Amino acid sequence: MSDPVNANSANGMAHRRRRSELLTFFVLAFGIWPIIAVGVVGSYGFAVWMWQIVFGPPGPLGH
């Protein structure tokens, strides 16, 4: 037969693990990834801006 104390302990461990995984998901989804996305887009914009300062804005090729 199954020991009820061990069954409750395993259930509690599963509950804590699920809660920990949900917390990790929310921190990644609403904290870290948005910051990384803003950093990547900002870095790309800065790189384009610097490129245009050095080489000039895009224009017609025939001039």
Residue 31 in tokens: 């904290």
Provide DSSP, the chain: ---HHHHHHHHHHHHHHHHHHHHHHHHIIIIIHHHHHHHHHHHHHHHHHHHHHHH-----TT-
pLDDT at 57: 86
Q: List the chain domain ranges.
A: 1-56
pLDDT per residue, tens digit, the chain (63 aa), is 556 656 667 788 889 999 999 999 999 999 999 999 999 999 999 999 999 999 988 888 655
